[in-house]
Amino acid sequence: MTIKSERFEPGATVVRRHVWNGKLWSAMPYRVLQDSDEYLVVANWPGLRSLVSTTWIASFLNGGLHRERTIHELASGTWELGSWAWRDTTVRSWYCLDAHFTVRQYFDADQRPLAWYVDFDLPKQRTRMGIDTFDLLLDLIVDPDCSRFRWKDEDEYHHGRRLGLVDDQVHRRVTAAREEVIGLIESRQGPFSHGWSPPLHQTWQVPVLPDDVRHVP
């Protein structure tokens, strides 16, 4: 359950961490756009530096090769972290705090809409630096006008289930979240009711990760 009494002001730095079995899997700094009981809305843009798995970095640079190794490292807890700079796109993200999903808008360098992107993840736990969650490997890509969508990484999700990353209880909640998200897309509700307006960040100070970001209580 999220802690509803704590808020981050617009323009503040927050950190989203993915944590598995008490160990940091990734950490990304953002600027806050809005914070409420339901959503933490944030922005990131090219050049922001994060911490991610070194195997994930290698896989990304090699066009997706060795993604299975990344999942095995996650399940076994044997990963190492490296520094990664966000590339190419400006992103507005709605972290749906009590839900098993996060909704993002992607914009190109000319501020043109590219897509909606839905990450399925655990409900977010507020921390003093932002929120902690865990990515559940399954994604949904939606056209800018919400007219079409396609599932992504379903094979990785099922592989994660076999490795114990997604148990039966979480799987049932993800199944319900999938139906909820499709309903929001089709009815243009929730984050999908918002118009395409890229967050303007040119005058903002670049957010950075705190020194103790790796510490997980």
Q: In the chain, where are the structural domains located? A: 13-193
Sequence-ordered alpha helix ranges (H) in the chain: 54-61, 67-76, 154-162, 168-187
pTM, two decimals, is: 0.92
Residues 52-83: tens digit of each pLDDT = 999 999 988 887 677 889 999 999 999 999 99
Q: Whole-angstrom Cα distance, residue 104 to residue 77?
A: 28
CATH class of 13-193: mainly beta
Q: Residue 3's pLDDT is what?
A: 42
* Average pLDDT of every residue of the chain: 92
Residues 150-177: tens digit of each pLDDT = 999 999 999 999 999 999 999 999 999 9
